[in-house]
């Protein structure tokens, strides 16, 4: 797994030149997000294959846990998104290399049910480099956890308003891959409504 992580990190760096600034929802300021992103699947980026295989097995296991609350929240998972490849440039002199507090599926309509983020940052020291994923309680003020984006670490959390989160300012280049597990029908309806201007 560690070797695959390094291969994936190298592939991400090769794609950096084709990445574009991350888009925010209309209610977030464009200044609130400082990453560049690209979208890929395993055909476009074969190095994603092992990650997707392991992640699908893990999520399948989570969905089958004997915990009714978890099963209820994930029962409509029917697909997963393409991988969002993200690089925060890292700048010790600026506060721009961050993503302000947000929710991945704030109004419950875009079909995202579970957020899975995988980190590719070798030698990361959060005290020196910052860049932690900060998870909040639903009140959006109380900090639940700060998670350093170290190499080969996976973080999974519900995409709804129960887990507001932010990326704290990174002072070194920070790479991550995020995949969302979706209610496909709801996800497609959401994007169709967006295209239709509704």
Q: What is the pLDDT of residues 65-79, one digit of tens each?
A: 999 999 999 999 999
Residue 162's pLDDT is what?
A: 97
Segments forming the whole domain that contains residue 81: 2-22+35-195
- Residue by residue, DSSP assigns 104-151 as TTTTS-S-EEEEEEEE--TT--HHHHB--EEEE-TTSSSEEEEE---T
Domain count, the chain: 1
- Between 66-80, 87-101, 125-139, the lowest mean confidence (pLDDT) is in 87-101
* 111 vs 1, more confident: 111
Residue 30's pLDDT is what?
A: 54
CATH of the domain at 141: 2.60.120.620
Residue 103, pLDDT > 80, answer yes
Q: Is 148 helix (H, G, I), strand (E, B) or coil?
A: coil
pLDDT tier for residue 91 given thresholds of 50, 70 and 90: confident
Average pLDDT, the chain: 92
Residue 193's pLDDT is what?
A: 86
- Residue 42 in domain: yes
143 phi and psi angles, rounded to 5 deg = -75, 125
pLDDT tens figures, 121-130:
999 999 999 9
The residue-averaged pLDDT of 144-168 equals 98
- Residue 190 in domain: yes
- Residue 28 in domain: no
The residue-averaged pLDDT of 176-192 equals 94
pTM exceeding the 0.85 threshold for the entire prediction: yes
- Residue 27 in domain: no
């Amino acid at each position: 797994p560690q070797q695959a992580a390094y291969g994936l990190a190298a592939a991400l760096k090769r794609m950096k030149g084709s990445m574009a600034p991350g888009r925010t929802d209309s209610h977030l300021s464009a200044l609130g997000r400082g990453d560049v992103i690209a979208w890929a699947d395993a055909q476009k980026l074969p190095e994603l294959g092992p990650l997707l295989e392991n992640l699908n097995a893990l999520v399948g296991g989570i969905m089958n846990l004997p915990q009714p609350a978890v099963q209820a929240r994930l029962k409509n998972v029917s697909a997963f998104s393409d991988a969002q490849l993200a690089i925060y440039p890292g700048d010790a002199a600026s506060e721009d290399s961050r993503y302000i507090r947000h929710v991945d599926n704030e109004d419950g309509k875009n079909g995202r049910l579970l957020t899975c983020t995988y980190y590719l940052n070798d030698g990361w020291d959060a005290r020196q480099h910052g860049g932690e994923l900060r998870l909040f309680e639903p009140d959006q003020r109380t900090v639940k956890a700060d998670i350093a984006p170290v190499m080969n670490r996976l973080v999974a959390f519900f995409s709804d308003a129960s887990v507001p989160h932010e990326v704290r300012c990174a002072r070194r280049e920070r790479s991550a891959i995020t995949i969302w597990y979706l209610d496909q029908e709801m996800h497609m309806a959401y994007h169709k409504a967006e295209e239709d201007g509704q």
